[in-house]
Amino acid sequence: SYELTQPRSVSVALGQTARITCGGNNIGTKTVHWYQQRPGQAPVLVIFSDTNRPSGIPERFSGSKSGSAATLTISRAQAGDEADYYCQVWDISTAWMVFGGGTKLTVL
């Protein structure tokens, strides 16, 4: 089955840029979505289809993808950005949804 790999944790200084990666076999051929989950809350979509930002999500959040990994970038990190972040794809060959293991972002 398809797997997505994320770093378990990423730290960023307040006001700096955080980058969270998501790796998977031939991920360049898949469409990646990103979710933010604050403690005790349900996940919220922050980036869809690799690079698109839903309405209401700050411009500080952006997404990109190369052939080997997708990346969620959070610019000018704020304390409120501390959360777990998950990448996700839909594996059309199996009709299964796949999540990465999640990355805990800490803002120092």
Partner 1 sequence: QVQLVQSGAEVKKPGASVKVSCKASGYTFTNYDINWVRQATGQGLEWMGWMNPNNGFTGAAQKFQGRVTMTRNISIYTAYMEVSGLTSEDTAVYYCARRSDFLTGRIDPWGQGTLVTVSS
Q: How far apart are CA 97 and CA 11, in angstroms?
A: 28
Residue 108 makes contact with partner 1 by CB under 8 A: no
Type and span of the H or E element at 34 = strand 33-37
Question: Should residue 79 be labelled a site residue for partner 1 when binding is judged by CB under 8 A?
Answer: no
For partner 1, how many residues bind (rule: CB under 8 A)? 26
Give 15 or 90: the residue with its C-beta nearer to partner 1: 90
Check if the beta carbon of residue 75 is closer than 8 Å to that of residue 60: yes
Tell me which of 21, 23, 45, 75 binds partner 1, using CB under 8 A.
45
The 10 Å Cβ neighbour count of residue 54 is 11
The answer to the question of residue 98 lying near partner 1 (CB under 8 A) is: yes
* Minimum distance, C-beta of residue 87 to partner 1, in the bound complex (Å): 10
